[in-house]
């Protein structure tokens, strides 16, 4: 990988991107269980999914005693309540401090320097860096001038980065970075990168596609050497992104194009062991990864719907287990499908109860029908018959991040 003649100093609590192969920020796919799997199998750093500044502002930081995770929560706008009548909080962002904190980069969706600083301050003490999303082309990110829309307003993007460097990076001693896409011409891209490198950032990631391009279109790398050179002259670490499928390939491409490291996105969704080199064992069978993902999700209390989404990416679509998991109604049912009921059944039942999954009278099957839930509650003699349970994570988490809740697919950002 490239070496720099000069370097922007790495802050005390930050990380140097040089020589790193990292997990890309991805909506839904970048939640905590997948980040933990990526780190286990060799990812040097992990990016969380883009979180919009407005979603973070107003949250409360707390330590979850069940999972030992740090959660940033807020009361949902739809007014969901627990069975005892109190409002149930939504988890906006979750961090495992002992397993990922010093390797985690928080990606921020923003279009306003003041809001960016306000949101970043909340999480800055728990992460190794703040990264501004200036590359996602999806409407949930570009609305309001965020994401790839910032490529059209470089002065605003620079103002955001400068504010974060001054008000967050220097005070919390962490790095501030940005992720962009290439522009139509090499000249335009070079001018943008030079401006960004003067803001005080420590790292820049370039997704080698233009704003209109989608993942199915092949990445364009003809501007990559130039971008790496501009960053090297400024002492800013440069990562490449786009069609990188393994650690071995990442290191080869970084060497070939003169950049400092690489980011893996889509390939990590289906097999996070892609971060492990061939010499260290290479790829792990999907069944092993899916079982590990399930266990990690239980350990951190991950939202059940998101866990099914993660498993759906790991399990081949033609395998019968894929359909069975997609229709499962509880963690305990998924454990049974994996043959892990004896090993994980106890914790599965506890997690189901904490996130509001209700079982039928026999205690065997999870139910969704509100009427049956009430009948179950009355049979148990409880007062939940008059209260509608809702998941502890809330249904508005992705909406608050700016994602399309029920239809959103994993998106590389």
Strand order in the sheet with 60-64: 60-64, 69-74, 90-95
Query: At CA 130, angle to CA 127 and CA 134, rounded to 5?
Result: 150
Tokens (6 digits) for 361: 């009278």
Given the residues 84, 112, 136, 158, the one annotated as active site: 136
Q: Which among 398, 395, 400 is positioned nearest to 57, based on CA atoms?
A: 400
Where do we find the tokens 């790398």? 221
Q: Which among 128, 216, 108, 213 is positioned nearest to 169, based on CA atoms?
A: 128
CA distance 338 to 319: 13
Residues shown for the chain: 413
Q: Classify residue 317 by its DSSP letter.
A: T
Annotated active-site residue 238? The verdict is no
Question: What are the backbone dihedrals phi and psi of residue 307, each rounded to the nearest 5 degrees, phi first?
Answer: -60, -40
Looking at the DSSP bridge assignments, the partners of residue 206 are 180, 240
Tell me the pairing of strands 60-64 and 69-74.
antiparallel
3-state SS assignment for residue 81: strand
Active site residues: 136
């Amino acid at each position: 990988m490239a070496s720099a003649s000069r370097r922007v100093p790495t802050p005390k609590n930050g990380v140097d991107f040089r020589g790193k192969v990292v997990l890309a920020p991805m909506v839904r796919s970048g939640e905590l269980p997948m980040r933990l799997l990526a780190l286990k199998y060799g990812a040097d750093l992990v990016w969380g999914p883009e979180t919009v500044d407005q979603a973070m502002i107003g949250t409360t930081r707390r330590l979850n005693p069940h999972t030992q995770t740090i959660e940033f929560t807020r009361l949902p706008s739809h007014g969901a309540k627990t069975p005892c009548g109190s409002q149930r909080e939504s988890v906006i962002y979750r961090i495992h401090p002992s397993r990922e904190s010093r390797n985690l980069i928080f990606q921020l969706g923003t279009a306003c320097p003041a809001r960016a600083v306000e949101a970043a301050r909340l999480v800055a003490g728990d992460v190794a860096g703040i990264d501004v999303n200036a590359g996602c082309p999806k409407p949930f990110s570009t609305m309001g001038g965020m994401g790839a829309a910032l490529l059209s307003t470089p002065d605003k993007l620079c103002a955001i980065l400068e504010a974060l460097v001054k008000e967050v990076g220097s005070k919390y001693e962490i790095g501030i970075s940005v992720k962009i896409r290439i522009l139509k011409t090499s000249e335009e891209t070079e001018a943008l990168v030079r401006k960004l490198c003067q803001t005080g950032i420590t790292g820049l990631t370039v997704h080698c596609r233009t704003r209109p391009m989608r993942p199915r279109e092949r990445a364009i790398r003809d501007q990559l050497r130039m971008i790496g050179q501009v960053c090297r002259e400024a002492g800013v670490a440069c990562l490449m992104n786009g069609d990188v499928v393994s650690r071995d390939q990442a290191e080869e491409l970084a060497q070939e194009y003169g950049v400092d490291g690489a980011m893996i996105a889509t390939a990590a969704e289906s097999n996070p062991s892609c971060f492990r080199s061939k010499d260290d064992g290479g790829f792990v069978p999907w069944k092993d990864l899916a079982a590990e993902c399930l266990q990690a999700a239980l350990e951190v209390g991950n939202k059940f719907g998101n866990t099914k989404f993660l498993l759906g990416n790991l399990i081949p679509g033609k395998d019968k287990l894929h359909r069975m998991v997609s229709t499962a109604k509880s963690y305990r049912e998924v454990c049974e499908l994996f043959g892990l009921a004896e090993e994980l059944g106890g914790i599965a039942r506890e997690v189901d109860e904490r996130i509001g999954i209700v079982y039928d009278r026999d205690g065997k099957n999870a139910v969704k029908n509100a009427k049956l839930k009430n009948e179950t509650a009355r049979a148990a003699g409880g007062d939940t018959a008059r209260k509608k349970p809702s998941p502890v994570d809330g249904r508005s988490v992705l909406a608050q991040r700016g994602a399309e809740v029920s239809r959103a697919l994993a998106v590389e950002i």
